[in-house]
A and B are shown apart, each in its own frame.
Chain A
């Protein structure tokens, strides 16, 4: 069966510090991968998605970036965090043929 991992689970970072969130998927090959952010008020916003290694599409211009160095690894980064980057970050995967996405446990980021 497939599983998706995210770490860390929680993170408190000062403004201006760098960020690296990692997501890995097990039990499947060539998944589509996604990063979402859920700010207070619970709306989910798609940040990035990837259909393959090195292929990243950005949905919202911001100071965040994403990379996919391996087939089942997806990384969300920032060089300098802003207060507005606080939120709940969720990674998800889907297969090419199926529409549903399966989500990881999420990372709760607080920028102070």
Chain B
């Protein structure tokens, strides 16, 4: 069975702090895909990144970075120098095949105060 665990329910930081959102996944498939989505207060889910199981390279996009480690089944997301606009619910998700349903974690609510 597939499962995504986001153990951190809520995180509060002050602007300019770095913050890491944890994601642990479970799957028996050798090929799978991992995702991160952002849900701001407006409600719409915004796609941030997709990582394939055969590509363990970490990725950096501006203040965002992702650390994928198959050995620990983790796909963690770090925001550097957080800003108030980063306040949102962040979801990690998993699928075993392109174009199929996503299994979501329960999300982590990030609050960044000024």
Binding site for B on A (CB under 8 A): 32, 34, 41-44, 46, 49, 51, 59, 88, 90, 92, 94-106, 108
Contacts and interface: CB of A to CB of B under 8 A. Distances in A.
Interface in B59-114: 89, 91, 95, 97-102, 104, 106-107, 109
A34 B99 contact: no
Given A90-B45, A103-B44, A105-B43, A98 B107 contact: no
Contact of B107 (A42, A46, A88): A42
Contacts of A59: 101
B98 A97 contact: yes
Interface residues of B, number: 25
B95 A99 contact: yes
Contacts of A46: 101-102
B35 to A, nearest CB: 6
10 contacts: A42-B39, A42-B89, A42-B109, A44-B102, A88-B43, A94-B99, A99-B95, A99-B100, A100-B47, A101-B47
Interface string B31-52: 0010101010011111100101
Given A101-B47, A103-B44, A49 B101 contact: yes
A97 B104 contact: no
Contacts of B102: 44, 46, 101
A106 B43 contact: yes
A73 B91 CA distance: 26
